[in-house]
């Protein structure tokens, strides 16, 4: 394969997979604005019951994803990442489409659990890009991919809320399912993966054996923890963002709109900054980019606890997005550089599992801290988590400094 063909191939992979992870992020988060309202149409529930069902149905997808992702990663290492992405895209398309037909809350709960079980598109996209992209472009390519995931997660609520208001709750699931089927088609025909040919005398190696032989176990596990804590911080504001905006605006009529803008700020920053930081990381050292990200996050979180206007809140949330753009692609790049090719899929799947755990922990901690220390306490708590994250990361990357 010529140099031009190689460049064309990885760039096309990145383009198609960006759209795929973007729509996957939307599918995971689009129900946030109307999930409770949709559940309310499926029966007669008290306020407490509705709150419980909404929390359980939203969280179950991430919990199941955290459990099954390593299993899909193991299969990806044996059968190929593209096959696993096709499985995930088709599975999500069917399940999202079926969500529009549920008649009771338990059917919706089961389908959300199955949605988590069919996951793996994002982690396998990262693994494919990490292994199929020339090393000198890996950080840049993964940075672009992170923008798709982040933008999808943060624009999902806006997409879902707009869609549900234009058509209906049920039709929004159908439309998302059709779009995910398009992702399946695009992935099938336009994503190219060089076939992984195992030696003729090789036999499948267990994850335990591979993990035991991994030279940088402490570094890899430390990166998992870094991902989990970053995601915990990112999602900790979710339960109270509208309430905090309402407090800052003294019950303004446009609280919902302003809360949406505040929620979108980190994603907007990440979309613009991540590809550039990925390039910089390829030049100056990936682990240094993560440390810079920690510093930016702390510099943004502490002042956020003392904001007196929504505009100030937007500015500091935008800066949080810049810190994400610094850290998230860098973590993916370090994982790809420090894991053997026969284990890349599993490594990225474990990382997604830890990210899913962070998605569950963040809102839980946020709600708990807000109930004890008020809304502003969440930002101080998050800053302390970043300090802890920085200490652990510094300890776990000793091998890189050597």
Per-residue pLDDT at 391: 92
Per-residue pLDDT of the chain (402 residues; tens, 9 = 90+): 556 666 678 888 889 899 889 888 888 777 766 777 788 888 888 877 777 787 788 778 888 888 888 888 888 878 888 999 999 999 999 999 999 999 999 999 999 999 989 988 888 888 888 777 877 777 778 778 877 877 787 777 777 777 877 888 899 889 889 988 999 999 999 888 876 544 444 455 566 666 676 777 888 888 999 999 998 998 888 767 777 888 888 877 777 677 777 877 887 888 788 777 767 766 777 778 888 999 999 999 999 999 999 899 999 999 998 898 888 878 888 887 787 777 777 888 888 889 888 888 888 888 788 878 888 998 999 999 999 999 998 888 776 655
**Alpha-carbon separation of residue 11 from 134, 182, 347, 356 (angstroms):** 11, 20, 23, 28
Contact between 163 and 337 (Cβ < 8 Å): no
| CA-closest candidate to residue 275, choices 153, 147, 136 | 147
Which sequence spans correspond to the domains of the chain?
1-192, 207-402
Q: Just give the CATH number of 207-402.
A: 1.20.1250.20
Q: Are 10 and 140 in contact (CB under 8 A)?
A: no
Residues constituting the chain: 402
Query: Quick one: pLDDT at residue 94?
Result: 95
pLDDT for the residue numbered 199: 43
Taking a C-beta distance cutoff of 8 angstroms, is the pair 104, 57 a contact?
A: no
Q: Where are the alpha helices (DSSP H) in 30-80?
A: 35-40, 47-79
* Average pLDDT in the chain: 82
What are the CA-CA distances from residue 140 to residues 168, 223, 248, 358 (Å)? 39, 19, 38, 25
Q: Helix, strand or coil for residue 206? A: coil
What is the Cα 332 distance to its own chain's centre?
A: 12
**Cβ contact 142:129 at 8 Å:** yes
At residue 100, the pLDDT reads 92
Residue 400 CB-density burial (10 A; 0-12 exposed, 13-18 middle, 19+ buried): middle
Q: If you compute the radius of gyration of the chain from its CA atoms, what whole number of angstroms results? A: 21
Query: By three-state DSSP, how is residue 239 classified?
Result: coil
Q: Do domains 1-192 and 207-402 have the same CATH topology?
A: yes
Instruction: Name residues whose C-beta falls within 8 Å of residue 402's C-beta, 6 or more positions apart in sequence.
Output: none
pLDDT over 70 for what percent of the chain?
90
Neighbour tally for 123: CB within 10 Å:
32
197-224 pLDDT, tens per residue? 444 444 555 666 666 767 778 888 889 9
The C-alpha angle with vertex 215 and arms to 214 and 218, in degrees rounded to 5, equals 90
Which CATH number is associated with domain 1-192?
Answer: 1.20.1250.20
């Amino acid at each position: 394969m010529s140099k031009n063909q190689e460049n064309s191939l990885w760039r096309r992979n990145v383009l198609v997979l960006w759209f795929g992870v973007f729509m996957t992020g939307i599918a995971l988060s689009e129900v946030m604005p109307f999930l409770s309202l949709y559940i309310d149409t499926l029966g007669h529930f008290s306020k407490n019951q509705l709150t419980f069902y909404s929390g359980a149905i939203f969280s179950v997808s991430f919990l199941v994803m955290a459990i099954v992702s390593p299993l899909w990663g193991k299969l990806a290492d044996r059968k190929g990442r593209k096959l696993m992405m096709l499985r995930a895209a088709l599975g999500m398309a069917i399940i999202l489409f079926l969500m529009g037909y549920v008649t009771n809350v338990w059917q919706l709960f089961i389908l959300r659990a199955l949605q988590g079980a069919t996951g793996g598109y994002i982690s396998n996209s990262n693994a494919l890009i990490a292994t199929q992209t020339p090393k000198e472009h890996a950080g840049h390519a993964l940075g672009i991919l992170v923008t798709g995931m982040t933008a999808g997660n943060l624009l999902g609520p806006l997409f879902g809320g707009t869609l549900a208001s234009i058509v209906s709750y049920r039709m929004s699931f159908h439309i998302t399912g059709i779009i995910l089927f398009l992702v399946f088609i695009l992935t099938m025909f336009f994503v190219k993966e060089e076939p992984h040919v195992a030696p003729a005398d090789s036999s499948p190696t267990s994850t335990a054996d591979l993990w035991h032989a991994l030279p940088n176990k402490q570094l890899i596990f430390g990166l998992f923890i870094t991902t989990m804590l970053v995601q915990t911080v990112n999602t900790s504001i979710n339960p109270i963002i509208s309430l905090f905006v309402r407090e800052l605006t003294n019950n303004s009529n446009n609280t919902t709109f302003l809360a949406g803008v505040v929620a979108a700020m980190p994603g907007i920053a990440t979309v613009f900054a991540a590809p550039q930081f990925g390039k910089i990381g390829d030049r100056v050292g990936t682990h240094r980019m993560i440390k810079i990200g920690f510093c930016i996050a702390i510099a943004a979180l502490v002042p956020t606890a003392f904001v007196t206007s929504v505009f100030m809140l937007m500015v500091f949330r935008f800066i949080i997005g810049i810190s994400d753009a610094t850290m998230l692609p860098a973590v993916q790049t370090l994982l790809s550089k420090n894991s053997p090719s026969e284990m890349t899929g599993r490594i990225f799947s474990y990382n997604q599992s830890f990210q899913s755990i962070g998605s569950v922990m963040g809102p839980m901690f946020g709600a708990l801290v807000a109930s004890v220390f008020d809304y502003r306490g969440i930002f101080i708590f998050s800053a302390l988590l970043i300090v802890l994250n920085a200490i652990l990361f510094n300890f776990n990357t000793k091998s890189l400094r050597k």
